[in-house]
Structure 1
Amino acid sequence: MANLLVTGGAGFIGGNFVHYWVNAHPNDNITILDCLTYAGNRSTIDGVEQAELVVGDIRDNDLVERLLRDRAITTIVHFAAESHVDRSISGPDAFIGTNILGTNSLLKAARKVWLDSGTGQPHRFHHISTDEVFGSLGPRDPAFTETTPYAPNSPYSASKAASGHLVRAYHHTYGLDVTTSHCSNNYGPYQYPEKLIPLALLNALHGRPIPIYGDGKNVRDWLHVADHCRGIELCIKRGVPGETYNIGGGSELPNLVMIDRICSEVDRAFSEVVGLAARFPCAPSAYGGSALELRTYVPDRPGHDRRYAIDDTKARQELGYQPLHALADGLAGTLRWYLNNERWWRPLDGRQI
């Protein structure tokens, strides 16, 4: 039996990880530390009996130390982060506070409890990072590897790069047992509606414009969140202390093509699901039209990275990682989840940006 502290465990990826971990390791105990800001949602982790939610800030050093000691935590899985690029452009201070200062606070507490006054028992601090820290790729550039230099282009990615440097430094300076993973764009259940896939899905259902930045040709590698969770598990269980691992989905796609696929899935759902037109009468698909009609080009985001691509060879060879969700199946399953879980997203829909 293991005791885990999962920061940001009421968010999208963190919440999915909690569900994944309790199914894979039913005897383990999970403490979730989450501030429950706009993207944190209690309902994401409803019914998970092995997990206890503690509402608090990762920058509260005393609280983190107390949790580590009192609950005999041996593994920290660090998801907590401000993560929306648009929000980082309009308000970077929150990203500096949570992503940099918050990570430093966690590391200080882990060092104090596990090393300075600890028992010497095995421990692991796993830091979840992003491919965005590597910057932007040209159309023919090779994919990011673990040794690609950091070159962040937004306040969000800069804050994640800084937190990654801190994690590395705590390993090399103090001997803290750490691993880091860089993931590509996640999608799947419980994702806050400001992100591309749920935003396009819900806008298509409500007949609202589906925004497309610039020419829509920005390329992303899409990773189903369940595959990401399995990759994190492998990093924790098999990763070498101090090492970093890329976790990718192997599904590079321009944003415009992704939106077209979402629209096609929505149209298909209206032709197959009885009663959908009555539930969402404003959707073009409900009255013989197509969600494609809602595509709307908007001015490009400042500093918008053109292409991300992940080379996950190291994780495949050293950890045994392999994504199991084909994009077509994962996207269809994600749409079904949102259609079947309106009670989860309905309270959030009006707050999207």
Structure 2
Amino acid sequence: MPTWLVTGGAGFIGGNFVLDAVARGVRVVNLDALTYAGNLDTLASLRNNPRHVFVNGDIGDRALVSRLLAEHRPDAVFNFAAESHVDRSIDGPAAFVQTNVVGTLALLESMRDHWASLHGNEADVFRFLHVSTDEVYGALGETGRFTEASPYAPNSPYAASKAASDHLVRAFHHTYGVPVLTTNCSNNYGPWQFPEKLIPLVIAKALAGELLPVYGDGLQVRDWLFVADHCAAIRAVLANGRVGETYNVGGDAERRNLDVVEAICGLLDARRPRADGQPHSTLIRFVADRPGHDRRYAIDAGKLRAELGWTPEYSFERGLAETVDWYLAHQDWVGRVLDGSYRLERIGVAA
């Protein structure tokens, strides 16, 4: 049974990754600081599961991380821990630098020292996989896609902090030999996503009969990646990725923001019609654009396909329909996030 240390494993992508890993028989040590985006409700099905060890802590706590590494001796470490919401980074960039840059540095220092203490097969198989974003590359024009060779040109404090963390990961490999892997993904969506992000936000507001805010003209383009496909890509990179390399992960599903919102409205019209009989799309309102809003992102995942044989399983239409259905079936989870009660009952948290 392999053991993995997962940081940020109570968040959206990390939580999906942990749930899937444990279901596959992996023993997971899950380190999460339980900031606002960390939700133990996501992990409720793993309570009392001996293959899941939850630890409430910060990646910047070197003593704690070093203790976990020495005690559990994981085969791999996955770094999902990050502040990730662009709007929040505009309002308060310091927290993003603290977690995404300073925290990643402390984590890397612990990894370096632990890896240096390993011998034989333990040292050979150990990997540190850093999960990052396509936003480090900046914005595209109407054509082209980001490749692993695209220059970094981050345009938001969030993207800049993730770019810095990517550079630190690369430097620790080239300077100290730490066996690292990096993935840069496009926009994720799916179950358990905190409802400040576009898709769950629109679902929640539409169900409440509230106006649906769309930034600017709504024509910004994103490449959408279903979270289960992202998790599968990460497993593929761990299994066969070349040490020191970066792999871009995209869903090959470019959509304009306005089109995404209208698609959600159409699905809700069929599944949960409004009492007044009007389509949900009549709730759409255009609002002032986000400062520095990048116009278009798109990922070229050709390297991942060619080297590791990964392709996304979910079309955007299938993934979005399953996502809407999940949120409709889990209104209790959404409600506890929206009213804040998910933060008040953190039972069974280890220190």
What's the TM-score once normalised by structure 1's chain length? 0.93
Q: 1:280 is matched with which residue? A: none
Q: 1:341 is matched with which residue? A: 330
1:16–1:226 Cα contact (<8 Å) kept:
yes
1:6–1:32 Cα contact (<8 Å) kept:
yes
Identity rate of aligned residues, in percent?
53
1:7–1:80 Cα contact (<8 Å) kept:
yes
1:137 paired to 2:159: no
Cα deviation code 1:228-271 (max 9, x no counterpart): 00000001111000000011001000000100001101111025
Cα deviation code 1:187-215 (max 9, x no counterpart): 00000000000000010000111110000
CA distance in 1, matches of 2:77, 2:29: 10
Q: 1:187 is matched with which residue? A: 189
Q: 2:220 is matched with which residue? A: 218
3-state SS in 2 of match to 1:176 = coil
CA RMSD of aligned residues (A): 0.9
1:7 paired to 2:15: no
Q: 1:35 is matched with which residue? A: 33
Cα deviation code 1:133-176 (max 9, x no counterpart): 00000112x10000001000000000000000000001111000
CA distance in 2, matches of 1:262, 1:339: 12
Matches within 5 A, 1:45-56: 45-48=43-46, 49=49, 50-56=51-57
Q: 2:70 is matched with which residue? A: 69
Q: 2:169 is matched with which residue? A: 167
Matches within 5 A, 1:43-122: 43-48=41-46, 49=49, 50-115=51-116, 117-120=117-120, 121=122, 122=125
CA distance in 1, matches of 2:230, 2:160: 22
Q: Give the letter aligned to residue 108 of structure 1.
A: E
Q: Give the letter aligned to residue 36 of structure 1.
A: L
3-state SS in 2 of match to 1:127 = strand
CA distance in 2, matches of 1:135, 1:342: 35
3-state SS in 2 of match to 1:5 = strand
Q: Give the letter aligned to residue 312 of structure 1.
A: A
Q: Give the letter aligned to residue 254 of structure 1.
A: R
1:118, CA displacement in angstroms?
2.8
1:350, CA displacement in angstroms?
4.1
Aligned residues: 334
CA distance in 2, matches of 1:286, 1:37: 37
Q: Give the letter aligned to residue 267 of structure 1.
A: D
CA distance in 1, matches of 2:337, 2:22: 26
1:33, CA displacement in angstroms?
0.3
1:74, CA displacement in angstroms?
2.1
Where in structure 2 are there 5+ consecutive unaligned residues? 341-351
Q: Give the letter aligned to residue 296 of structure 2.
A: R
3-state SS in 2 of match to 1:94 = helix
CA distance in 2, matches of 1:212, 1:346: 23
Q: 2:128 is matched with which residue? A: 125
Runs of 4+ aligned residues of structure 1 deviating over 4 Å after TM superposition are: none
CA distance in 2, matches of 1:204, 1:248: 28
